[in-house]
Structure 1
């Protein structure tokens, strides 16, 4: 049997993007941000359970996706593949792997529900008109607003596409919108860093994951092994609580800032008309 059939990568229908927690090989790799060939390697090394098979098709689940994201995170922090295998094995033996994966799922899942839109380049030209250029599309891809696959361009967020179109139709050049988007990204990253810093200081460290208690790091899996199920549950609950709080603070402050700025602009216009 070919590797394509074994890994469920044959062409045709199916979930298309892992809808309902069912992913083909390419879909789960893309969602986890890993190379397709790594899936079999992780399975061979005992890091990833085999997919569930239905006939000739192999399906990966949300649990596979969560575990892949955890593996990628640990590799990025300096763990070796053997070290990750030891860590996962230790948690499986202790019965706490489900809590660890639950924490990873809560930490990495999307903060907003996004509806993707895929268009051809011709569709884009028709939507945006002559003011949008190929350079604009490339820059949008660099900023993460779109992904390009041959002649297809996918917007991960329909609302963002519609908002961009509304601005373009009001006469704002797409290049200027992208400039603004890049600025907003930088500011949003700073705000996120601030909230994560608070979370690290007052939630994670308070749960005992500090230097003295064995903060997880590239030296080895010992720090994470020392996390109890209770600590993991506490951190997971805190992450879930952080989502609406952080979003509400940012949305409220932005709305207040816009209201003040618009009031100032309107007052200036009224003075000009007098």
Structure 2
């Protein structure tokens, strides 16, 4: 009777890297204090206890690197806690981050640009006064970075410099930005509401089901540029309407003034009865003097 060949023994498990808390902090560019804090918040699983020593492994390394990555993207620890909870419930972290990016990423493709004070003086000339720079920083048009300034929209900064060179006072230009900003904020909120309305079908404060997230992300990316088209179209209409009204009023005023001036030059001046009598008397006296001279 043939012998049954022995079943192959399972492949040995890959050796697991182990770390003390100090080693874990070092390989993840973190600190022991942060490791303890993340454990207290439930963001990091506790280590395996071997006597009085806690032993960490590569799963802790991966989790710490993820936390550091999310913190660098601007998430708070509370946000990260919610994300990790969602992942534990079956969500794909990449899909969640993709949804966050589709909603919250920059709408402009412009990249911020750094300017020295000398470069700003070259752009704006003597109009770049300390008060104007302070006002631009207050409005967020410029951000101080040491001795330099960063403009989130270099195109807007260049447009402002050109308008200033054309004679528009920089203080008036900055006031126009300040006055119009609340209106732009209202328009922006309306457009963002349109974009994220895709989420209204789900419970508030809850993530969509994992299977729905990829299609939702694609839908939001499709709607975003369409919202920008609506904003640009409405802004163009409003500018044309405002400039047309102003131009009409200004031209009407000019025509009215021209008409008044034309009448003054074409109509003979009116004389009063007193002026006529005085002119006649002067003429009689002149004739009398001429007769006496003969």
**TM class by shorter-chain length?**
0.5 to 0.7
Q: Contact 2:195 / 2:224 at 8 angstroms: preserved in 1?
A: no
- Specify whether residues 172 and 96 from structure 1 end up closer, same or farther in structure 2 by C-alpha distance, changes over 3 A only: same
Structure 1 length as normaliser, TM-score?
A: 0.64
Q: Which runs of 5+ in 2 are unaligned?
A: 1-25, 45-62, 259-294
Q: Would the alpha carbon gap of residues 67 and 231 (structure 1) be closer, same or farther in structure 2, given more than 3 Å must change?
A: farther
1:129 equivalent in structure 2:
125
Change (3 A) 1:109 1:90: closer
**CA displacement at 1:260 relative to structure 2:** 1.9
Normalising by structure 2, report the TM-score: 0.60
Partner in structure 2 of residue 203 of structure 1: 198
Instruction: Decide whether the 8 Å contact of 1:43 with 1:50 is kept in 2.
Output: no
CA RMSD in angstroms, aligned pairs only: 3.4
The alpha-carbon distance between structure 1 residues 66 and 101, as it changes in their structure 2 partners (threshold 3 A), is: farther
Q: Distance in 1 between matches of 2:35 and 2:161?
A: 42
Residues 167-196 of structure 1, C-alpha deviations (whole Å, 9 max, x = no match): 101111111111111223211211122233
Q: Secondary structure at the match of 1:94?
A: coil
Q: Give 1 or 2 for the bigger CA radius of gyration.
A: 2
C-alpha displacement of 1:43: 11
Q: How many residues align?
A: 207
- Measured in 2, the distance between the counterparts of 1:158 and 1:250 equals 20
Task: Answer yes or no: is 1:173 the counterpart of 2:169.
Answer: yes
Shift of 1:87: 4.0
Q: 2:90 touches 2:210 (CA, 8 Å); kept in 1?
A: no
For residue 84 of structure 2, what is the aligned residue in structure 1? Answer: 88
The 1:95/1:230 distance shift into structure 2, 3 A limit, reads closer
Which one has more relative contact order, counting CA pairs under 8 Å at least 6 apart?
1
**Structure 2: how far apart are the matches of 1:42 and 1:192?**
40
1:246 aligned partner: 227
